[in-house]
Chains A and B, each alone.
Chain A
């Protein structure tokens, strides 16, 4: 209980700090919204040239884009700022975090929760909901449940990817933008039907890394389409099954990273 109070206090500190920069906050709120809007606009622009991309119509693609946007923005808002671990390591902020009587990861998350991404999350959910409507889905109990669980599972999965790629900074402080290849890159990957990608590239991102089960497969299950790539129908419901191990792996790597930091101090 006491510990939860502490995290609430950290979050409160973040909120009050932001109040000092109302204008900046408003601009960042809008621009974060803008960046997700542009992602969706891009899909519309691409479909101007053709009615079908990778075997899927605009509405069908938008379901994947919306599912991705909702899940990704959820993850980005909660743990996205862990990206800054590089800076925390370089400037020694991590040391100040380590001398407090709280766990490191929740502390970092609540100290700097990026609430400027709030509108973006709302927009992500809106796109997802609009795509659900636009596709005339034949609702069943299973599909209704999936429609709710899928974006959450996607969020958990992307959150794990954020933590995983940020952990790289424990070993490689100068890793720069490499994490973005898998966080933002992963988002771009799942925003389109995975049928568009070349074989080995798709195998790597979709199946080896698990991104294929996050948006594409649940979208197929919601649409009632069979997978042209040949995965069975139950794969549409497998998103939580990749989210759980992803979290476990992320937790493991994070813990190892903290231990590594403590043995090398840099």
Chain B
């Protein structure tokens, strides 16, 4: 579906050197990235600002030409075959609009049907599906400029999908959205991904997007891939664990241990304790606790991916 081989993108920047002199310096925004993404995969592409996420996406969509290396999407080479590729991919730039600012959403969709030369019946069917999944009907006749950011993003997603693309590129699709809109966008993308027809690559700063949507996570920093695998693999590699937070009627007896877990925190005079689950399953740990102490309440906390990624960026 998508193949990148030693993909490289260098930019020349002018750096101030002294009062008037400027020096040219070459900076690698993408520095030898090799990735293969299979049909139906949902890949989260993350990294700190300036890591090369957007540059990669621009090379995949034919906006930017690589300095060296190879890239192919759906068997096409993006830059020379840009217009052919454009008919088969969908792109959502979170901070740029595909829509006609002064026209109602409905009109933008109608225009895009002509731009992408979609047969009317197909167009109708796809639009109907998006309308119901994204609840568009309430604002379909509102000019885009009057839409809230969340409404607009739902419109952008529809706009990117109306021509039935095989690959969907999403550049920060949830940026600036409120919690409810983020949820709407995520469940829509999850549903879309579940069909297995659409390959998705999404960049984001919101790791909840990734946790919800992506089985595969690619972390890029300084233009290089520093992690490529599942979220679980990331946790494993960086030693992050699930934990069990327990509220107790009475503090635990001295010297209490839970096999396969480590006590990592004691709060509220011993009335709340936290265990990190090393090898024990959540079930076993709960059973062990209930038999030894009077448990009022407990919860299992998933490892915080933000922490992991923050540590990853710091170490890279």
The chain A residues found within 8 Å of chain B, CB to CB, are: 2, 5-6, 8-10, 12-13, 16-17, 20-21, 91-93, 95-96, 98-103, 259, 262-265
Number of A-B residue pairs having CB atoms within 8 Å of each other in the complex: 84
State the main secondary structure of chain A at its contact with B.
Answer: helix
Residue B294 at the A interface, CB < 8 A?
no
Residues of B within 8 A of A (CB): 11-12, 55, 58, 61-65, 67, 79, 82-84, 86-87, 89, 91, 93, 95-98, 100-103, 107-108, 110-111, 113-117, 143
**Is A6 a contact of B117 with CB atoms below 8 Å?**
yes
Contact flag A93-B111 (CB < 8 Å), given A17-B101, A99-B91, A262-B65: no
Q: Are the CB atoms of A98 and B82 closer together than 8 Å?
A: yes
Q: Please name all residues of chain B whose beta carbon is closer than 8 Å to the beta carbon of A93 when the two chains form the complex.
A: 96
Q: A85–B84 Cα gap in the complex (Å)?
A: 24
* B100-A264 in contact (CB<8A): no
Q: Are B55 and A10 in contact (CB under 8 A)?
A: no
Q: Which residue of B lies closest to A20 (CB)?
A: B102
- In Å, the complex CA distance between A262 and B64 comes to 4
Q: Cβ of B82: which chain A residues have Cβ within 8 Å of it?
A: 98
Write out the residue numbers on chain B whose beta carbons fall within 8 Å of the beta carbon of A9: 110-111, 113-115
* Interface contact A99-B114, CB-CB below 8 Å: no
- Contact call A95/B93, Cβ cutoff below 8 A: yes
| A13 proximity list for chain B (CB < 8 A) | 100, 103, 107-108, 111
Residues of A within 8 A of B115 (CB): 6, 9-10, 100-102
On chain A, the residues within 8 Å of B64 by CB distance are 262-263, 265
Shortest CB distance A145–B (Å): 38
Beyond A9-B115, A20-B143, A21-B102, 9 extra complex contacts between A and B, CB < 8 Å: A6-B115, A9-B110, A13-B100, A91-B96, A93-B96, A95-B96, A100-B116, A262-B65, A263-B64
A99–B102 CB distance below 8 A: no
Cα distance A20–B100 when bound, in Å? 12
Q: Assess the B100–A17 pair: CB atoms within 8 A.
A: yes
CB neighbours (8 Å) of B93 from chain A are 92, 95-96
Q: How far is the CB of A3 from chain B (nearest CB, A)?
A: 8
